[in-house]
Amino acid sequence: MLRTVALLAAGLATAAPAPKEGGRTYLDLQPQGTHKLADDSPSGMAGNNLAAVPTGEREFGGMKFKVGEKYLQLGSPMFKDERPEKVEGIKVGRAFAKLYILHATGYGSSAPGTAKHIPDDTVVGEYLVHYEGGETATIEVVYGKDVRDYWFSDRSPGVTRGAVAWEGECDASKRMNMKIRLYKTTWENPKPGKRVTEIDFVRAKDTPAAPLCVALTVE
Tens digit of pLDDT at every position of the chain (219 positions)? 434 334 334 443 333 333 345 799 999 999 999 999 999 999 999 999 999 999 999 999 999 999 999 999 999 998 988 899 999 999 999 999 999 999 999 999 999 999 999 999 999 999 999 999 999 999 999 999 999 999 999 999 999 999 999 999 999 999 999 999 999 999 999 999 999 999 999 999 999 999 999 999 999
What's residue 22's pLDDT?
Answer: 72
Say how far apart CA 61 and CA 188 lie, in whole Å.
17
Per-residue pLDDT, 12: 38
Distance of CA 26 to the CA centre of its chain: 11
DSSP-derived letter for residue 8 is H
Residues near 170 by beta carbon (within 8 Å), at least 6 away in sequence:
47, 48, 49, 50, 51, 52, 180
**DSSP conformation class of 6:** H
Who contacts 31 (Cβ-Cβ below 8 Å, separation ≥6)?
A: 91
pLDDT at 91: 98
- Number of Cβ within 10 Å of residue 159's Cβ equals 19
| Other CB atoms within 10 A of residue 89 CB | 13
Residues 6+ positions from 183 with CB-CB distance below 8 Å: 61, 102, 103, 104, 146, 147, 148, 159, 162, 163, 164, 165
Beta-bridge partner residues of 180: 151, 168
pLDDT at 121: 98
pTM of the complete model = 0.89
What pLDDT shows up at residue 21?
Answer: 57
DSSP class per residue in 82-137: ---SEEEEEEEEE--SEEEEEEEEE-BBSPTTSTTB--TT-EEEEEEEEETTS-EE
Write out the DSSP string of 31-94.
GG--EETTSPPTT--TT-S-TTS--EEEEETTEEEEE-SEEEE---TT-SS---SEEEEEEEEE
